[in-house]
């Protein structure tokens, strides 16, 4: 604390930054005087072209078509196709047949005779 007190005595507590008298009162007028003059534009209303009228509708249509395509592509990967389902069913059926044949305790000839008799009926 003693060092801070010594420094404050040397420097003082007064704000060293000063603004000239009347600076903020004249600031707006001075800035406006220094700006270059702009030509005043007359308000001329022109009829929008066909492209300007159609463009928002065209963009919106393209957005919806894109969204529909993305949804269709994304959803087709999750839904199995008919061919894939048929292959899965055939594969599952063959697994059950193979399990039944292994557990039946029949040799190949006896199994053939059994299947031939059941087809004849």
Q: Tell me the per-residue pLDDT of 5-44, one tens digit each, with 9 for 90 and over.
A: 888 888 887 887 888 888 888 888 889 888 888 776 666 7
Burial 17-36 (b: 16+ CB within 10 A, else e): eeeeeeeeeeeeeeeeeeee
Instruction: List the domain boundaries for the chain.
Output: 1-34
Q: How confident is the model at residue 92 (pLDDT cuts 50, 70, 90)?
A: confident
Return d(Cα 73, Cα 67) in angstroms, integer. 10
Provide the 10 A C-beta neighbour count for residue 111: 13
Angle at 54 between CA 51 and CA 56, to 5 degrees: 115
pLDDT at 108: 75
Residue 79 has pLDDT above 60, yes or no: no
Return d(Cα 50, Cα 47) in angstroms, integer. 9
Query: Would you say 111 and 101 are in contact if contact means Cβ atoms under 8 Å apart?
Result: yes
Verdict on whether the full-model pTM lies above 0.75: no
pLDDT at 85: 66
- Mean pLDDT for the chain? 81
Q: How confident is the model at residue 121 (pLDDT cuts 50, 70, 90)?
A: low
């Amino acid at each position: 604390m003693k060092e801070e007190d010594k420094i404050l005595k040397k420097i003082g507590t007064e704000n060293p930054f000063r603004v000239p008298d009347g600076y903020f009162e004249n600031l707006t007028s001075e800035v406006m005087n220094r700006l270059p003059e702009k030509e005043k534009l007359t308000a001329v209303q022109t009829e929008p072209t066909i492209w300007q009228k159609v463009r928002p509708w065209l963009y919106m249509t393209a957005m919806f078509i894109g969204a529909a395509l993305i949804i269709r592509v994304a959803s087709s990967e999750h839904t199995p196709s008919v061919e894939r389902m048929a292959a899965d069913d055939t594969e599952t059926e063959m697994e059950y047949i193979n399990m039944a044949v292994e557990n039946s305790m029949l040799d190949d000839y006896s199994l053939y005779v059994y299947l031939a008799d059941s087809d004849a009926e």
